[in-house]
Amino acid sequence: MRLDWKGVRLDFDLYLVLDGERIGVRDLEGLKKLLATGDLDLSASSVGLTSDQLLRKMEALKGALGNVDYEALEEISQILEQKRVLVHGCVRGLKRPSVAVDMVVLKGDSVLLVRRGRAPYEGYYALPGGFVEYGERVEEAALRELREETGVEAELVEQFGVYSDPNRDPRGHTISVAFLLEYKGGKPRGGDDAREARFFRLEKLPPLAFDHSEILKDGLLAAARRGLL
């Protein structure tokens, strides 16, 4: 959940954890669509998930509720929204850096990029990445954001840098932990706030948003040390 208050960006999300599955408001919207249409692939893609991810969330809810219907999902959504408002009231005014992750995902001599679907840098290409959720390890956040934004599966190789310039993100002070990953499978597709996801050959890269050219350069040095290039 992203809020702006007096120039301070506050990022938080609320979700249920059932049988190890995180189920948030966006997930519930996908599950509602699944109940309404019966189309698993369409419902999953509408909220930036894979079919397997959405199915696991539905099974976790069934395990907790015994039976899942639209009214139950709507009630859970309302509860999470009420809690979000309460949390907003508690955290409002705190001025702290946000923590994010950025990923350099290599496939041979190509790197995975996403085209941003929202400001800042809307329409520009960037490394896959996103904000770390409360209670989440940065390694977990990297793999989650990669799946949500691109649908790609990859293996973590190493954490190669931390980028903390207060001016690196026009929305506010954001510290990014950068990871090198090796592609393992999946067809890239845009999801979450990514309009598009695709591999680019390293010699034919578009201009990158934020400080991602610097992060990519450092990631490629790490890959060379690992013998991946």
| Residues labelled catalytic | 196
Residue 134 vs residues 14, 37, 38: alpha-carbon distances, Å:
9, 33, 32
For residues 18 and 74, the answer to whether their CB atoms sit within 8 Å is: no
- C-alpha–C-alpha distance, residues 24 and 44, integer Å: 14
Beta bridge partners of 98: 174
- Residue 144 burial (CB count, 10 A): 17
- C-alpha–C-alpha distance, residues 112 and 123, integer Å: 16
